[in-house]
Structure 1
Amino acid sequence: MSDFSWNGLSVVLNPLLPKPLLVALAVLFAALFLLSLWRRARGSVLRLLAVLSLFAALLDPSMVQEKRAYQKDIAVILIDHSPSQSIGARAEETARAVSELNQRLGKFGDLEIKVIDAGAGPDTAEKGTELFTALRRGMADLPLARIAGIMIVSDGQVHDVPQTFADLGIDAPVHLLLSDDPAKGDRRIALIEAPSFGLVGKPVEVKLRVDDLGANPGAAANIRIKRDGVALDPVPVVTGRETTLSLGLEHGGQTVFEIEADDGPAELTRINNRAVLSVSGVRSELKVLLISGEPYPGERSWRNLLKSDPSVSLIHFTILRPPNKQDATPINELALIAFPYDELFDVKLKEFDLIIFDRFEHLGILPDEYFTHIADYVANGGAVLEAAGPTAVGQFSLYRTPLAPIFAAMPTGEILEQGFKPALSDVGKRHPVTADLLADLNVPPNWGRWFRQIAATTDNGEVLMNGARDLPLLVLNRVGKGRVAQIFSDHMWLWSKGFEGGGPQAELVRRTAHWLMQEPDLEEEDLRATAIDGKLEIERRSLSPQDNVNVTVFRPDEKNETVRLTDIGRGRATATVPAVDQGLYRVNDGTRDAFAALGEINSKEFNDPRASAQPLSALIAASGGGVGILPDHALPDIRRVGKKGERAGNNWLGLTRNEDYIVTGISQAPLLPPWAALALSIGLVLAAWRREGR
């Protein structure tokens, strides 16, 4: 064991007897010494010295000299590469400071330099600048006892600062070199409340605030709003005050709002002057009116299919007793109600999202003026689906009413009673309503047969499916703002019964109905862009081949590039390009625009882009570190300091001397050899005996 140590020199005791025995002897000799003192015996002090010399011999002390190799201290340079460091000349100031630090620290012969790069990454916008996470990883293989100090080169906006200095596990100063002047101000938009969903046709409320950081609130400002790239009326606001915007959703699917404030009196960056908000438009309820001409096996299939969709509110009427039918059956036994055509086709017609005529026969039930109302309803954005049966070729067909102009195909008067398998047309293999019904477009579908088809010819519209004799089976058409679909068979219900394996009846009807109700995901001519995981994914849909199609990508910094799309089949052409910058991306194919927002609504990284030592001030103070400002200032002087005392001062920053070492060898020599201790003890005993003899 070591009882004393100084600068590598220590005294080590190696007892020759067990400790309990030594303690017992010490107690015995102490008692005898006290007894001699009580009796005032001569030579007591000499006897005590003799005993002490004997004990020294029993402890066998030796002098140990360590041979030490002192280790170099480590100066850590932590460099902030976060996006906010690209503002102004911060990147240049940071590079200059790091270069000069390396030069100055390299002049100290007892220092090693460890450079740690931090702050960059795809999650920076969401999580902010995380320097200390990288610092811990970088110091994981370093001996913490050799850390002389940490030099942070940053704008100071750090979002993972340890709660206490002790959490770092080091005893060294933390210094900050600010890459920009903290006196500069900036304007920003802060989104306080922003919904991600809204009802189509109803406004959503967005709460925001425009702040002039570093200036007094109360100034007048304007914000400009774009909805899917279309400018809305500007809104005046007052800085520092919360403002509520009412933004309308005009269609289902994603609507991108771009909100931008005017430049402020001081601007570090315009990135935080813009907020991008993506809102999904959903329909609260899809109202469908189903009118069946007469009962037949497929009627219940239509009803069950529409009722199974929780988003559909279905009103279903079956014409059991048309005006021309006269018999003696009492009305109360038929359980009939008067057909409310006034209410349905005049008062509440515009409330329906879709009207389905299933084997409907015009027998004077509806006056021609109501068919005219339906045609106007379609032209103004409504939707009609007609499932034709044998009555479609008679004199009471819907095609002999004012509805005829909205139909793209017309019956020829022939009814084909034969088995056939529905098949996709070339257009159907590219149209989003039918393209995904088959796993492999090159393999004929193994669907069950139908046994009746109404022969028809087309003048316009798109034929998605063909039937017997390659005649049109499913035809889609756009009329004004609305849409019309025609199915020239009443045997679709065979698929729902699984006849000969059945077919995708439910999916086909669902997709057709949603296309009629203008679901964005089923648009046949469409352009889409999605920003995710540092990539911008572009998809263009078209019924035309897309072998040589280019699009233009406009980035948030207003730079643009031309991108070639690759046709992947099913009417889709795609491309993927890197997307790193936060903000709004716009893709244009010459006809339409697509928008994609990259980054958080309230970016933590650019929430306050000003240079500031405040986030790190508590840590710097606890470590004894200091702060330097780089722009227009010389780099502070770097000094080596002791572990005690000041570690930073006026225009100087200190790095501690830890004097850490490893022991390379040991030399040992006895302090009191046993023979010398024995001779000394005997001499003292003789002196004590002589003293007593006087």
Structure 2
Amino acid sequence: MVDISVEWAPLLPWSWWAVACAVMLALSLPALWRRAPGSLWRLAAFVVLALGLANPQMLEATRTPVPDVAVVVVDDSASQSLADRPQQAAAAEQVLREQLAKDPTLETRVVRLSQVPVSEPTGTRLFAALERAISDIPRQRLAGAILITDGQAHDIPPTPTFPAPVHTLLTGQRGETDRRMVVDSAPSFGLVGATVTVTLRIDDPTLPAGSQLPLTLRSGQSEDIVQQVSVNAPVTVTVPVAQAGLNVIDASVPARPHEPSISNNRAVLSINGVRDRLRVLLISGEPHIGERAWRSLLKADPNVDLVHFTIMRLPQKEDPTPLNELSLIPFPIRELFEERLDDFDLVIFDRYSQLGLIPLHYLGNVANYVRDGGAVMLAVGPEYAGVTSLYDTPLADILPAAPTGTLLTQSFTPQPSAVAARHPITAPLIEQGASHWGPWLRATEATTRSGVVLLTGPDQAPLLVVDHVGKGRIGLLLSDTVWLWGKGWEGGGPQQELIRRLAHWLMAEPELEENALLAHLRPATAGTPPDIEVLRRSLDDPQAPLPPLTVTAPDGHSQTLALTPSPTGATARFPAPQTGGWAISDGTQRTMVAVTTSDPLEEQMVVATPDRLRPLADASGGGVFWLSEQPPAITLPAIRRPTASASAMNGGHWLGLRRNGESTLQGLHQTPLLPAPVLALLFLTGMFIAWRREGR
């Protein structure tokens, strides 16, 4: 393609050229005013000179047409995977590619939302994908954009602008409705044993005001709760907090026929159960260096209220010291061991000798306290092997090991028992390296009566024994030199972690249950759904046959799953493609795992709609078209190429991609319109004729 144009290339700057023209005009006007002979010829010569100085040029430009660019953005977000929308989008993309490929003046660029990197999931970033697709396209080459989407875009600006028409091809069906559950408020924490209040709303435009639906609350700790709630209005429900730690509750309402999605008919609530300040009673029989280990651990936990008494003087001891100078308060035996005993979550006897300070019937109360669900810990020293041993009290019925009367005074390194690697108190400590533990110096020899031995001392004698008694728990540490670990003597050991885990096991921390069904979610990877990993922790023989698990998906479908033996019990893993609460049971225990979507905005609104993209279409001159009225067939509007000056870029059954007519310059040839010899000849001829006429 060749373009011919005329341009000026003055031999003088235009300001000087104007001055020269003014001088020539000044020399010509007086003669013209007097009508002197030859004045017109002089003016003609000056005009020729002015034209010569302006130097007109004929430009011949060789240009190559450049195709316009049409951008097609395909929405492949989560909401586009519903019903027949993927088939509609794929068919529309194929037809668009075929039609646009027929136009040689048009270049097509297709981009998918999944190809656009985002820092975090924030809904359908349709406008961001469009802006990214045209970032390297000159605006004068942009013909327009076509969006294939369900209309659920979450990043359209309030006043959208675009340099070319933006058309939308809507998937889905006109007039879709959807039932969905929205959680307006839910607490993150709740007290164990209490209830929390959750405010939610069930939206269903097909139901009249006052209608009710059954709301089902499922958890891993109790039976399902079903209650009737109103729709299209906020409702308040109470949810029990059954255990410490994470409580997963799956709230759901029945699906309605022909809904685009049922995943938003449910919501998963994750509530952390916290105890209302644990109360611990610590009684130290005598001051000793190991006493600080218990006190430091319990005082360091802000959720623990510690009541600590150290017996500094026996009742029968006689000396002239006045009683009012011996202590600030008397030892409240009756209040602690009769009136307020049930208020404590854990009672610790640290090197306590039975010397008559606490009457025997009060220690009987302690034994009953354990049977009824309480927790007691004994950290004993030489006194446990003597005549003042707590084993010679009513506590003997619940103690897991009986003293032999021998005190082992030798250096030894505590060794994990065979079951310790599977018990949650000691398993993590062994994994961190039991071979590097330092020695202890003294232990009380005892024979095991019941319970589980976790650590052993000299000659495989029990060193740490734990047991379940009735509804409660008891622990027995048969050495008073555990503090050597805390001092780092000869390498030390995990003193603080051992005591912490032991105390929390005694207080029935769910994560430390030795026979428990635990499950956690493994995040999704590219192209694969998330996995749920199940651990059935058990102290039983790992080779013994295990019952299969029953896994119930959020939609109610169940499957059985075999367990694989592992060092800590048995494990299993399965994919979790559905969002919601997955219930897992082994026949006696039950747990639940919450699977949530990585992008909640994608599941909140799933109804195909033109409303979100209409402002963008109107502002840019584009149109919004439904792809289908009778699925699975689709109908695409015709594609036209109006010029950039056209008044409309869309119609009832067509969409327009702007024809810009851009080209690139390949060559330029410049030719003077008035060659210098011709100009000189014309100027001299005019001046000669003017001179001749004036000379007559």
Q: TM-score, normalised by structure 1?
A: 0.89
Give the whole-Å Cα distance in 1 for the aligned partners of 2:330 and 2:303: 28
Match of 2:343 among 351, 358, 365: 351
Match of 1:175 among 167, 184, 187: 167
Does structure 1 residue 496 correspond to structure 2 residue 511? Answer: no
Q: Which amino acid aligns with 1:543?
A: L
1:257 matched residue in structure 2: 249
Kindly tell me the number of residue pairs found equivalent between the two proteins.
683
Q: Which amino acid aligns with 2:379?
A: A
- Taking the TM superposition and a 5 Å limit, the aligned residue runs for 1:60-209 are 60-119=55-114, 126-162=121-157, 164-166=159-161, 168=162, 171-209=163-201
1:543 matched residue in structure 2: 539
Does structure 1 residue 294 correspond to structure 2 residue 286? Answer: yes
Give the whole-Å Cα distance in 1 for the aligned partners of 2:554 and 2:360: 55
Cα drift, residue 11 of structure 1: 1.3
Cα drift, residue 350 of structure 1: 2.3
Q: Which moved more, 1:215-224 or 1:186-195?
A: 215-224
Q: 1:613 to 1:274 in 2, by over 3 A?
A: same
Cα drift, residue 197 of structure 1: 2.7
Q: 1:44 to 1:583 in 2, by over 3 A?
A: farther
Does structure 1 residue 444 correspond to structure 2 residue 435? Answer: yes
1:3 matched residue in structure 2: none
Q: Answer yes or no: is the 8 Å Cα contact 2:2–2:62 preserved in 1.
A: no
Q: Which amino acid aligns with 2:670?
A: Q
2:656 matched residue in structure 1: 654
Does structure 1 residue 9 correspond to structure 2 residue 1? Answer: no
Give the whole-Å Cα distance in 2 for the aligned partners of 1:641 and 1:480: 87
Q: Secondary structure at the match of 1:108?
A: coil
Q: 1:690 to 1:405 in 2, by over 3 A?
A: farther
Cα drift, residue 474 of structure 1: 0.5
Runs of at least 5 residues in structure 2 that lack an aligned partner in the other structure: none
Q: 1:562 to 1:235 in 2, by over 3 A?
A: closer
Q: 1:130 to 1:225 in 2, by over 3 A?
A: same
Q: Which amino acid aligns with 1:379?
A: R
Once the two structures are superposed, residues 246-266 of structure 1 have per-residue CA deviations (whole angstroms, 9 ceiling, x without a partner) of 323232211111111233587
Give the whole-Å Cα distance in 2 for the aligned partners of 1:602 and 1:189: 16
Q: 1:357 to 1:229 in 2, by over 3 A?
A: closer
2:637 matched residue in structure 1: 636
Q: Answer yes or no: is the 8 Å Cα contact 1:191–1:601 preserved in 2.
A: no
Does structure 1 residue 669 correspond to structure 2 residue 671? Answer: yes
Q: 1:174 to 1:370 in 2, by over 3 A?
A: same
Give the whole-Å Cα distance in 2 for the aligned partners of 1:200 and 1:39: 117
Q: Which amino acid aligns with 1:55?
A: A
1:392 matched residue in structure 2: 384
Q: Which amino acid aligns with 1:674?
A: A
Cα drift, residue 602 of structure 1: 8.6
Cα drift, residue 316 of structure 1: 1.1
1:598 matched residue in structure 2: 595
Q: Answer yes or no: is the 8 Å Cα contact 2:248–2:581 preserved in 1.
A: no
Cα drift, residue 338 of structure 1: 3.2
Q: Secondary structure at the match of 1:641?
A: coil
Does structure 1 residue 622 correspond to structure 2 residue 619? Answer: yes
Q: Secondary structure at the match of 1:186?
A: coil
Q: Answer yes or no: is the 8 Å Cα contact 1:185–1:215 preserved in 2.
A: no
Q: 1:304 to 1:340 in 2, by over 3 A?
A: same
Q: Answer yes or no: is the 8 Å Cα contact 2:220–2:583 preserved in 1.
A: no
Q: Secondary structure at the match of 2:679?
A: helix
Cα drift, residue 305 of structure 1: 3.4
Q: Answer yes or no: is the 8 Å Cα contact 2:219–2:591 preserved in 1.
A: no
Q: Which amino acid aligns with 1:604?
A: L
Give the whole-Å Cα distance in 2 for the aligned partners of 1:667 and 1:474: 100
Once the two structures are superposed, residues 201-232 of structure 1 have per-residue CA deviations (whole angstroms, 9 ceiling, x without a partner) of 44333222211257665432332212226344
Cα drift, residue 605 of structure 1: 0.8
Give the whole-Å Cα distance in 2 for the aligned partners of 1:581 and 1:66: 64
Q: Answer yes or no: is the 8 Å Cα contact 2:409–2:441 preserved in 1.
A: no
Give the whole-Å Cα distance in 1 for the aligned partners of 2:129 and 2:245: 40
Q: Which moved more, 1:215-224 or 1:22-31?
A: 215-224
2:607 matched residue in structure 1: 610
Give the whole-Å Cα distance in 1 for the aligned partners of 2:172 and 2:488: 72
Q: Answer yes or no: is the 8 Å Cα contact 2:353–2:384 preserved in 1.
A: yes
Give the whole-Å Cα distance in 2 for the aligned partners of 1:562 and 1:99: 42
2:263 matched residue in structure 1: 271
Q: 1:454 to 1:665 in 2, by over 3 A?
A: same
Q: Answer yes or no: is the 8 Å Cα contact 1:126–1:605 preserved in 2.
A: no
Q: 1:270 to 1:121 in 2, by over 3 A?
A: farther
Q: Secondary structure at the match of 1:251?
A: coil
Does structure 1 residue 425 correspond to structure 2 residue 417? Answer: yes
Does structure 1 residue 519 correspond to structure 2 residue 509? Answer: yes
Give the whole-Å Cα distance in 1 for the aligned partners of 2:117 and 2:521: 16
Q: Answer yes or no: is the 8 Å Cα contact 2:221–2:242 preserved in 1.
A: no
Q: Answer yes or no: is the 8 Å Cα contact 1:537–1:574 preserved in 2.
A: no
Cα drift, residue 44 of structure 1: 5.0
Give the whole-Å Cα distance in 1 for the aligned partners of 2:282 and 2:340: 14
Cα drift, residue 418 of structure 1: 2.7
Give the whole-Å Cα distance in 1 for the aligned partners of 2:212 and 2:96: 45
Give the whole-Å Cα distance in 2 for the aligned partners of 1:606 and 1:244: 22
2:450 matched residue in structure 1: 460
Q: Which amino acid aligns with 1:373?
A: N
Q: Which moved more, 1:586-595 or 1:500-509?
A: 586-595
Give the whole-Å Cα distance in 1 for the aligned partners of 2:205 and 2:25: 79
Once the two structures are superposed, residues 97-117 of structure 1 have per-residue CA deviations (whole angstroms, 9 ceiling, x without a partner) of 112222222222322222211
Q: Secondary structure at the match of 1:160?
A: coil
- Backbone CA RMSD of aligned residues: 3.3
Give the whole-Å Cα distance in 2 for the aligned partners of 1:48 and 1:165: 61
Give the whole-Å Cα distance in 2 for the aligned partners of 1:599 and 1:96: 31
Q: Answer yes or no: is the 8 Å Cα contact 1:539–1:572 preserved in 2.
A: no
Identity of aligned residues (%): 42
Once the two structures are superposed, residues 306-346 of structure 1 have per-residue CA deviations (whole angstroms, 9 ceiling, x without a partner) of 22333322111223444554555432232264332332223
Match of 2:239 among 247, 260, 270: 247
Q: Secondary structure at the match of 1:296?
A: coil
Give the whole-Å Cα distance in 2 for the aligned partners of 1:48 and 1:595: 103
Q: Which amino acid aligns with 2:461?
A: L
Cα drift, residue 153 of structure 1: 0.7
